[in-house]
Structure 1
């Protein structure tokens, strides 16, 4: 079971302050024979979430360059969406939540770490 379009999130109420921790993993595309390819599908980052009171994982498409922010740098999610995957069990269902976004940027700068500011 999946939600059709996910759940759009009010960033401030749901997350509050977010601080960058680290790259958690890179998800690779699977080949037709089931083996893992070298192509990256998405990257998942660990973020410290003040409002949730714990670390959260957020996935960003591989089309976005690798984000290497300083530890504890305040970041912002661009267009975050929460979604679920449910698997039926003998006692009901196991449900996993996940968060995806279009991009991850430094808060109040709106700029990626590897993209220098234009010179005046």
Structure 2
């Protein structure tokens, strides 16, 4: 079975409460000559996941913008997907799982819907 688009995840069931921690790394674009450019391709963030019982890393495209939420702010993922990368080894293959999403946004709690709308408008 091949899952070309990865495995779609349900935020609440998979992650439980997610809290923002920090930017882990930025991946830059490599041009045709193999030179690393200054253009950012994606950013990976550390998030605390109550459902997983540990810190998780989530990558989002650069077009989603740089996320600078306060530490421990509740967030949620937009369209999260789990996928894999396999590396051939002498004994077969090693498989690493990773999580990607379209965006990381403030958790929509009752009462802060207007705050989310204002943040989204400020991005435009």
TM range (shorter): 0.7 to 0.9
Note the aligned Cα RMSD (angstroms): 2.0
SS of residue matched to 2:13: helix
Match of 1:90 in 2: 90
| Length, aligned pairs only | 116
Corresponding position: 1:45 with 2:45: yes
- Structure 2 stretches lacking a partner, 5+ long: none
User: Which sits farther off after the overlay, 20-29 or 85-94?
Assistant: 85-94
2:14 counterpart residue number: 14
Deviations 1:47-77 (A, max 9, x none): 0011111110001111111110000000000
CA distance in 2, matches of 1:94, 1:113: 44
In the superposition, the TM-score normalised over structure 1's length comes to 0.88
More helix by share: 2
Determine helix, strand or coil for the equivalent of 1:14.
helix
Unaligned runs of 5+ in 1: none
Q: 1:82 to 1:113 in 2, by over 3 A?
A: farther
